[in-house]
Amino acid sequence: MKDITPRVAALTAGLGMLLMAVIAPLCIFGVIEKMAVPGDASATAANLIESASLVRNAGVGLLAVVLLDVIVAWGLYVVLRPVNASLSLLGAWLRVTYSAIFAVAITNLFDATRAATVDPEQALFLLGGFDQAWQFALVVFGAHLVVVGYLAWRADYISRWLGALLVIAGVGYALDGVGTLIDPTYLLDVGRFTFVGEILFLFWLLIRGARKGMGFSTTPHSSEGCFRAN
């Protein structure tokens, strides 16, 4: 890991986030969210049986997202380590923890396709379990973004407004996760408006990672970043 430069780590994290931004919505909004019919186990089971292969493929796609999340966690750790090594490590572990919870949630999708043919009520319950676990995972992911945003705010190589937007995005995800867990009828969806910071950070990582001739230092510091353009 010591041989990996922050520039390479930034490009790796940016590409990982870009792939996730494509795969995750296709799997979740394009497939998974179309399966459950609230209050109607029979209709839900029928959807799962008819689209069993599609649901399983979506589950595999989401497992790929989990793997990408772990890679991104490592990349962001290297990029932000010069600011504060301990907090950067905390941020990485929060993202890995989010990934682990999400991976467990995804297993419900495979179980739901199997249950659909024998127990429609169980299939509906398992889809609900996926959503609940995912919402809990989003709370952890929100905490990760708050840490990343704070480090970006303190870095001398990232614009402070970008750090602030990342913190706002993290708070948005956390609010939505907690709100949904407390009240299943929660409809505020703050994250739909606050996620812009995450998208802008993705492009910052790609642009910074693609630029050559950058002077980087990977020596951890407690308060200040130490790599900037020559």
Give pLDDT tens digits for 169-200: 999 999 999 999 999 888 888 888 888 999 99
pLDDT-derived band at 230, boundaries 50, 70, 90: very low
Binning the chain into helix, strand and coil, the percentages to the nearest 5 are 75, 0, 25
Tokens of 151: 């480090």
The predicted-structure confidence for 142-165, as pLDDT tens digits, reads as follows 999 999 999 999 999 899 999 999
- pLDDT one-digit tens code per residue, 63-107: 999 999 999 999 999 999 999 999 999 999 999 999 999 999 999
Q: Which tops the pLDDT comparison, 6 or 127?
A: 127
As a whole number of angstroms, the distance between CA 19 and CA 37 comes to 29
| pLDDT tens digit sequence for 47-65 | 999 999 999 999 999 999 9
Cβ density class 139-173: b for 16+ within 10 Å, e for less = bbbbbbbbbbbbbbbbbebbeeebbebbbbbbbbb
What sections of 116-195 are H helices per DSSP? 120-154, 160-182, 191-194
DSSP assignment letter at 215: E
CA distance 63 to 67: 6
